[in-house]
Amino acid sequence: MYNTKQVTRQRAKIKIRKKIEGSTLRPRMSVFRSLNHIYAQLIDDSTGKTLVSASTKSEELKSDLVGIKGKVSKSKLVGTLIAKKALENNITTIVFDRNGFRYHGRIQAVAEGAREGGLKF
């Protein structure tokens, strides 16, 4: 009846969100992975607002993504872009929310790109 992958991810997501919470000083970096794209955003859970966002659809990355093959490489660029935007907004430390996805592949690449960009987890 239900897709077991989706149910498993939703359960993992709920368990993760019970443990972590973003604040103004240390926002939560939520990562979502679709079939073709990856999205990352920094969220202040106390006010419920998105502070910074980046994705493979971002205008800032259009020219950089043209020559790159592979979703993992593109995901790493998204991580560095969100780190750059966060540092412009004086955000240096974050809490990482993998959103129920395994810390592997594209999710890991976003985290590594953000770390290389200067964010601390």
The Cα 57–Cα 62 span in angstroms is: 7
76: three-class secondary structure by DSSP: helix
* Average pLDDT estimate for 88-95: 95
The identity of residue 29, as a single letter, is: M
Distance of alpha carbon 38 from the chain centroid: 8
Domains of the chain: residue spans and CATH = 4-117 (3.30.420.100)
- Cβ neighbors of 67 (< 8 A, separation 6 or more) are none
Could you report the per-residue pLDDT of 55-80, keeping only the tens digit for each?
Answer: 999 999 999 899 899 999 999 999 99
The model's pTM is: 0.91
Checking if the pLDDT of 1 tops 70, the result is no
Could you report the per-residue pLDDT of 7-65, keeping only the tens digit for each?
Answer: 999 999 999 999 999 888 899 999 999 999 999 999 999 999 999 999 999 999 999 89
93: three-class secondary structure by DSSP: strand
